[in-house]
Amino acid sequence: MTAPFHPDAKTKINDKAKAAFFVQDYAGRTTIDGVQIVELKRFNDDGGAITELGRLTAGMHGQLPGFECKQINYSEMEPGAIKAFHMHHRQTDVWYVPPCDKLLLVLHDCRQGSPTEGKTMRFVLGDGKDRLVRIPPGVAHGAGNIGQRTGRIIYMVDVQFSATPGECDEGRLPWDYLGADIWEIVRG
């Protein structure tokens, strides 16, 4: 028969478990200067749901001060795909992943002199939540589809895309720029 648990008692654990034991970090996550996360409201009724992604007045987004939307894009990612890393010199991205999808977003501040230069943010978009993420120029970003089906991204930008050399604002870094393990699912 097992003795009842007493909160004041200190349980002894064996050496193997003791060597592997750690306390999970529940502290606030690292943030990058200029990255903004906006929690959105989802309205449900008997027939479905609607999420307002933003109200625009002359292209200006009401919840993202200073952001003028000039193009809206839609992208799909197959399960297990990693699309990373890319960044812009002038363009701000605002990403939305539908709540039924699940993408791992990784951001890394490459801006020389930024107060958060070299910092990395890693978090899940979608997965039952409605929110926007504002990604400023100079912050490398990429996503991995960790869901079981095609993942979707709807994103707004403040610079219209041009593939013309000399005008193109999009550049790339290798997918493993921060190490391949950045894309691994945290277990435990």
Q: What is the pTM of this model?
A: 0.84
The torsion angles phi and psi of 20, rounded to 5 degrees, stand at: -95, -10
Instruction: Outline where 122-171 has alpha helix (H).
Output: none
Under CATH, what is the fold of the domain 28-183? Answer: Jelly Rolls (2.60.120)
Give tens-digit pLDDT for 24-48.
Answer: 776 778 899 999 999 998 888 888 8
User: Residue ranges per domain, the chain?
Assistant: 28-183
Counting runs of H as helices and runs of E as strands, what totals does the chain give? 1, 14
Give tens-digit pLDDT for 43-55.
Answer: 888 888 888 898 8
Q: Is the pLDDT of residue 144 over 70?
A: yes
